[in-house]
Amino acid sequence: MSAVNKVKLRGIGMTSQRTRERLIQRLIEQGIENMAVLDVIRTTPRHMFLDEAMAHRAYEDTSLPIGHQQTLSQPYIVARMTELLLAGGPLKQVLEIGTGSGYQTAVLAQLVESVYSVERIKPLQNKARQRLRQLKLYNIQTKHADGTMGWEEKGPYDGIISTAAPEKIPQELLRQLASGGRLVIPVGGVQQHLQVVTRTQEGFQTEIVEAVRFVPLCSGTVR
């Protein structure tokens, strides 16, 4: 049994396998088709990414507070964004903007070669890093910084995902996208839409996927 699986099994006392299975069924009903994504969500202990007071709700298909006015995204959205990111084929270098709890990071790390994740709120980054280490996911690097600037040194990326919504897509994220790479990002203010931007030989191609609700992408950092 892998180390990740051992840690996961310890959590089962608190949330039954049946509760998790119900969540997976719900994601399938909502149109998630990528089996690898569904498998990773089935086995990743979402309760470990929440404070104790919220952990009992971990396998509901809902977003949940993680402090600092931020939220852990709804499982459906995590699944959908991951599926969209992977739709172009296997990925090596992936940049994530908005580590938050680290849950989306953990899901990604089990599906791609390397994940680079940027978070602007220091205490969230610290907590996320601890959890990811506990899960023995070692193909992740995190950084405390303003993600609107991307993470130039580690790029270019064949996938970029943002879990916070800008009014307009930051130029740096487009610039750090490799040719053929995909950016999955919620865009807008009060009304937001999930977009997939693909970098082609000629330029950028944008697909609008669906209406979503994310916390705003803010500039600057918080200690």
Q: How far is the CB of 46 from ligand SAH (least distance, A)?
A: 9
Catalytic residue numbers read 73
Q: How far is the CB of 119 from ligand SAH (least distance, A)?
A: 5
- Residue 7 or 218: the one with the smaller Cβ distance to ligand SAH is 218
**Tokens of residue 9, six digits:** 């099994």
- Residue 209 or 215: the one with the smaller Cβ distance to ligand SAH is 215
DSSP state of 222: B
Burial of 73 (0-12, 13-18, 19+ CB in 10 A): buried
Q: Residues in the site for ligand SAH, rule: CB under 6 A?
A: 66, 70-73, 97-98, 100-101, 103-104, 118-121, 124, 146-148, 163-164, 215, 217-219
- Residue 54 or 215: the one with the smaller Cβ distance to ligand SAH is 215
Q: How far is CA 140 from the centre of its chain?
A: 12
- Residue 19 or 146: the one with the smaller Cβ distance to ligand SAH is 146
Cα–Cα dist 147/128, whole Å:
16
- Residue 181 or 186: the one with the smaller Cβ distance to ligand SAH is 186
Q: How far is the CB of 66 from ligand SAH (least distance, A)?
A: 6
> For the residues of 37-103, what is the DSSP string, one character each?
HHHHHHHS-GGGGS-HHHHTTTTSSS-EEEETTEEEPPHHHHHHHHHHHHTTS--SEEEEE--TTSH
**Tokens of residue 202, six digits:** 């000629």
Cα–Cα dist 104/192, whole Å:
20
- SS3 (DSSP) at 192: strand
Cα–Cα dist 72/46, whole Å:
10
Q: How far is the CB of 217 from ligand SAH (least distance, A)?
A: 4
Cα–Cα dist 108/111, whole Å:
5
